[in-house]
Amino acid sequence: MPWDLVIFYMLAGVCILAAGGVVAASNPVHSAIFLVICFFNVAGVFVMMGAEFLAVIQVIVYTGAIMVLILFVLMLVDPENLPEFHQGRPVQRAVGVLLGIILLLEVSVAILNRQVIGVKGNATAQAIDAVGGNTQALGRVLYSDYLFAFEVVSLVLTVGVIGAIVLALPERLGLKTLPRRGTISLGHGKGIDAEAIAMGPVEEMPMQPVAKDVIPKATGGRRLVMVKDPDEHTGAK
Amino acid sequence: MNVLLVGMAYMTYYERKVLAAMQDRMGPTRTGPHGLLQPIADGIKLLGKEDLIPKAADKPVFFFAPLIVFVTAICSVAVIPFGNQITVFGEDIQLTIASLNVGALFLLAFSSIGVYGIILGAWASANRYSLLGGLRSAAQVVSYEIILGLSLVGIFMLSGSLNLGDIVHEQQRALEIGPFSISNWYILSQPLAFVLFMIAAVAETNRAPFDLPEAETELVSGFHTEYSAFRFSFYFLGEYIAMIVISLFASTLFLGGTDGPGSDHFGLGILWLLLKTVLFLFFYIWLRATLPRFRYDQLMGIAWKVLLPLALLNIVVTAAVRLATN
């Protein structure tokens, strides 16, 4: 029994079903969960191809970090604010389905008539084992031949992170930051507390006396009884 | 795996006894001799409780979320080297379930997946406080995962391999310090990485002093608020298994794993590994008993502003030293 093939079909099958689930799920969080399942199976396929390092990195980076952050955003979205599913005029929907089918046919024709041209690389199984495994092979190539590309990619990522932070700074959004008090911060140090900021810095806030009718009487009109003896108003006496 | 499950159950007992001793009291003493049957009693109680599911909860996700935490923690044990090879009844058995050449990263990968258990459980509970607690916890775990990974880069540089079996072998070589010849444990050559790893490990498993998402919001709720009975126990025990797994991982990486006198000839390696793991677990419980917990913004601030630069510094220094001595 060719176990390799069975396992590959299982992995690929679940992956495709999960990918279908991403598109078909009505709840975005369910879509994200299906995508995670899909990525996990792709990592399995990587392992089958002998690229274990890539598989583990796929799980750590893509599934374990990027999807978690995407889920953060998706979970904070109110389901009622999402666009309606299956919306649109019937003509639009029919054209959409037609285009999808045409694309599927094109891709199938391309796959079935493929010819592999090009030179096989020198990363044969023996060459990889000679340097000690796929991690070492990747490391050798990445840090020697492709070092420049590696550095450029890290620079791009750094710029992205800095850009995101700069875009979200409170000063940028037009709000003043509160001056930090010397005491325990209530978490509003640089926070977006619109009313407090509109009132100005801390020292200038005047004490406003509260009008008597603003705070309702706590008792609501009931008679307040101060009881000193627990048995006084029960039936135990 | 059976050993792990029993170990996890008795880890709860160990924790209660040690916490009690540190707090000058006795801990469980009534159930069984010296309270040894307490985890069994807890298990029976948890199994017998009513399983409540909130009406607005998302049932499939609610069902699977605690399982993710539990299963990924147990799967991570597959790469820990418990020894080399033993012959039982004429058959050679490898004492490492899966000697992967990316073993250390495999463990990190599975702990990354464990985050999903928290975040999906929080969302599926249909409870705003759960969601916020879960998001906080997930953000904490993701931040400290980075530090966990970076603190290990120094070790990977020194050992030249990600395979945990190879790392243990490298540590069994002798290191000469003056007239003494001791094993080359990485705690000696990477002390900063060890400290960073321990801090990150405690934060990864949401343990004190980093348990704000579990404890403070627990006063209101927390990501496991809507989980009762056995589902809650999945989260709870999943956390303990994660603690045990990270302690095993730390003993393998920094304290030489199965290294110790008698490990070659008498096969006492696994005993040494367990001893070191118990030491780390004691350290975990000690931290819980002693330190007050961090506020959430302090916690995240420490991760990104203090520990991350230190981890990078560790990598640079290790690389420089290795370059200079070769």
Task: Give the CATH number for residue A31.
Answer: 1.20.120.1200
Determine, for residues B112 and A29 on separate chains, whether the beta-carbon distance falls below 8 Å: no
The answer as to whether A19 is a domain residue is yes
Determine, for residues B58 and A27 on separate chains, whether the beta-carbon distance falls below 8 Å: yes
C-alpha B145/C-alpha B138 separation (Å) is: 10
Choose the mutation target among A68, A138, A157 for the interface with B, i.e. most B CBs under 10 Å: A68
Least confident range from A185-189, B192-196, B227-231: namely A185-189
ipTM value for the complex = 0.83
Quick one: pLDDT at residue B69?
87
Q: Which residues of chain B make contact with A60, given a CB cutoff of 8 A?
A: 105, 108-109, 112, 149
- CA pseudo-torsion sign A81, A86, A91, A97: positive
Residue A53 or residue B53, greater confidence: A53
| Overall pTM surpassing 0.90 (yes/no) | no
Q: How many angstroms away from the CA of A59 is the closest CA of chain B? A: 6
Above 60 in pLDDT, residue A179? no
Find out whether B241 and B4 touch, Cβ atoms under 8 Å. Answer: yes
C-alpha B292/C-alpha B42 separation (Å) is: 27
A106 token code pair:
């094109």
Task: Give the structural domain span for A66.
Answer: 1-82
Determine, for residues A72 and B119 on separate chains, whether the beta-carbon distance falls below 8 Å: yes
The length of chain B is: 326
Count of the separate structural domains present in chain A:
2
Quick one: pLDDT at residue B199?
92
Mean of the pLDDT values across residues A194-216? 55
- CA pseudo-torsion sign A44, A46, A48, A50: negative
Indicate the SS3 state at residue A110.
Answer: helix
Choose the mutation target among B61, B101, B102, B298 for the interface with A, i.e. most A CBs under 10 Å: B102
Determine, for residues A68 and B138 on separate chains, whether the beta-carbon distance falls below 8 Å: yes
Measured between alpha carbons, how far apart are the two ends of chain A, in Å?
A: 88
Q: Which residues of chain A make contact with B122, given a CB cutoff of 8 A?
A: 75
Run of H or E residues at B85: strand B85-88
Above 90 in pLDDT, residue B312? yes
Q: Which residues of chain B make contact with A40, given a CB cutoff of 8 A?
A: 113
Determine, for residues B131 and A134 on separate chains, whether the beta-carbon distance falls below 8 Å: no
Quick one: pLDDT at residue A185?
40
- pLDDT digits 0-9 by tens, B119-174: 888 888 877 778 888 888 888 888 999 999 999 998 888 888 888 888 888 888 87
Quick one: pLDDT at residue A191?
45
Indicate the SS3 state at residue B175.
Answer: strand
Run of H or E residues at B5: helix B2-22
Quick one: pLDDT at residue B237?
83
Residue A46 or residue B33, greater confidence: A46
Determine, for residues A53 and B61 on separate chains, whether the beta-carbon distance falls below 8 Å: no
Residue A98 or residue A181, greater confidence: A98
Paired sense of beta strands B91-94 and B85-88, if any: antiparallel
Residue B107 or residue B181, greater confidence: B107
Least confident range from A10-19, A215-224, B84-93: namely A215-224
Residue of chain B whose alpha carbon sits nearest to that of A60: B109
The answer as to whether A159 is a domain residue is yes
> What proportion of chain B, given as a percentage, has pLDDT over 70?
89
C-alpha B192/C-alpha B315 separation (Å) is: 10
Determine, for residues B115 and A30 on separate chains, whether the beta-carbon distance falls below 8 Å: no
C-alpha B48/C-alpha B65 separation (Å) is: 21
Q: Which residues of chain B make contact with A71, given a CB cutoff of 8 A?
A: 116, 119-120, 123
- The last residue of a domain, from among A49, A82, A115: A82
Mean of the per-residue pLDDT values of chain B: 82
